[in-house]
Amino acid sequence: MSVEASSSLTRVDTGLANTQPKLPEPDAEIQAIVGAGKIGRYVVLRKLGEGGMGVVFAAYDDELERKVAIKLLHTTFSGQQQTLGQQRLRREAQAMARLSHPNVAQIYEVGDIGSAVFIAMEFISGCNLREWLRQTERPWRTILDAYMQAGRGLMAAHAAGIIHRDFKPDNALIGDDGRVRVLDFGLARPDATASDSLSSTSTSGVFHSVELTQMGSFVGTPAYMAPEQLQRHPADAQSDQFGFCVALFEALYSYRPFLGADTAELTDNVLHGRLIDPPRDSDVPGWIHQVLLRGLALAPEQRYPDMAALLQALSDDPAIARRRRLGIAAIVLAAGLAGGGGYAINELRAEPAPTCTGGEERLAGVWDPATSERVHAALTSAATTYAEYVATQVDARLGSYAAAWSGMHRDACETHQRGEQSDALYDLRMACLDDRRTALSALVEVLAAADASVVEKAVQAADRLPLLGRCADASALLAQVPPPDDPQVARAVEALDVKLAQARARSEVGQYQAALRETQPLLSEAESLGYGPTLAAALRLEGLIQDVLGEYGASRARAAAGRDDGRRRRRRRRAGLRDDRPGPRHRHAPGPLR
């Protein structure tokens, strides 16, 4: 049963009370801890956010020279709530520490300070998916891609026997690198059959907000809860699937699928299947809505068997499948015509086009069996108990990246040979792939000289290689600032970009001081060349490193300079002006990596 969407519905407004979630009163002990400036060995930098269970701070680990996020549990909970809150936070750390996946936030440590419990985790420069959606209007494919990443994080958790129980856009962060990580596994338990009630007594039958994670007669965020959770039954992977579909529905259509001003009204609508129809003017294809309807089924057994099946369904675009079928039909037809023409057609047939197999050769010496062995030997030589595991993970990730690079290189070549893309776009795709090859080469060289500190962040560095998908985005490639037309300047830009890639690779493995020393001289060189994208990339890299090292005044100035340079270039392009450089594009002058 569904109801028509009202035209008055706005983003994340589904008839819910227009009030902010009520958070706990200010916590005197937490204020005292933060006032002291340290949480354990971590130096507190600033508050990042606050929720129903605690406060999150940015902090700095001066032992390992890295920025971290610290989640600190509210100490204003009393009695059983305090104990249960501590149990929940410890469960979060234990659950997340069991996962090693690019789409799950990494946990470093769990500890106590006073009567409070804290978790130190990966600091992600970015925002949560709710904030990301509010920043600007985004195409449905972009939204779907971000949520598919979050779905893969949930799928990895389920494979490890962990149920999230509280998935929502606030619990998934999208980094500046475009990678989405799921976090806040505080309600997760390895045992899916355990009761979801943390307390046998309810504080209230109706909560103040359906959008805030609740404790009491049940736990979770009511707006994203599956029917079985709202009925106080145990949650499982199908429950996470339901919450994921609520969040994706909300992201695509700007409102959630079920109305409810409070928990009681929301529960009634969910349990009676009163879904809101998507807006009539939505450009989201109908097949996606059908996939979401199955994921939002009242009975768990009527949903998809698992997250993998749901994600596969969201990937099966009928338009792509139809084009593929038409392509195959055209090939069969051409073959039939050729066969009917006898030897005359064979004699007139042109020589076959050269095959597009140059990708593997381009990676020789960058990532091949020999370099793989070098990196593996360097990582395993570090005197750490987990070096062998890290080496195996890095080898798998870099191998996959190299294989994907070769595949994209081949696709660009074949698409160009078929006449399906212009020479200019082909050049841009190849230049983008050259950038990625440079980044891979720089990281391999850093890893090949690994020590114990590098081993700790090697997997994360491999996951943070520049996204290959950008090299297939024609709109983004065509919107780039043209490279210098002067061949000498273009070659200097290429050489400078290689040096920046090397400094960036050092920063990714945690060698911040060395990366900063390498980056700062490059700024003068970038300024002298006068090529905006490379200068902005150098400024941003220096600012990010300074931010990690706690040099916030300098990092903010550098970031502002990089943004101002970017705004100036965009204003000139909108006005129809070149970026201070006449002349055509030059194929081999790469811009910033990301």
Q: Give 293-326 pLDDT, tens digit per residue.
A: 999 999 999 999 999 999 999 998 876 655 555 5
Q: What is the pLDDT of residue 245?
A: 97
In terms of DSSP bridges, do strands 2-3 and 275-276 run parallel, antiparallel, or are they unpaired?
parallel
Q: What is the pLDDT of residue 170?
A: 92
pLDDT band at 125 (very low <50, low <70, confident <90, very high): confident
Q: Are 172 and 181 in contact (CB under 8 A)?
A: yes
Per-residue pLDDT tens digits for 102-122: 899 888 888 888 777 888 888
Q: What is the pLDDT of residue 451?
A: 79
In angstroms, what CA-CA distances link 308 with 14, 184, 300?
A: 29, 21, 15
Give CA–CA dist 91/84, Å, rounded: 10
Q: Are 384 and 450 in contact (CB under 8 A)?
A: no
Give the CA dihedral 51, 55, 58, 59, nearest 10 degrees. -160
Q: Which of 27, 62, 145, 166 is catalytic?
A: 166
Is pLDDT larger for residue 449 or for residue 323?
449
Is 281 one of the annotated active-site residues of the chain? no
In angstroms, what CA-CA distances link 123 with 8, 159, 249?
A: 38, 25, 28
CA atoms within 13 A on the CB side of 86: 15
Per-residue pLDDT tens digits for 340-358: 444 443 443 444 445 677 7
Per-residue pLDDT tens digits for 547-584: 888 775 554 455 455 555 554 444 444 444 444 433 33
Region of 576 please: left (phi>0), alpha (psi -120 to 50) or beta: left
Q: Are 189 and 161 in contact (CB under 8 A)?
A: no
pLDDT, averaged across the chain: 77
Per-residue pLDDT tens digits for 468-493: 888 888 877 888 888 888 888 888 99
CA atoms within 13 A on the CB side of 203: 13
- pTM of the predicted protein model: 0.52
pLDDT band at 46 (very low <50, low <70, confident <90, very high): confident
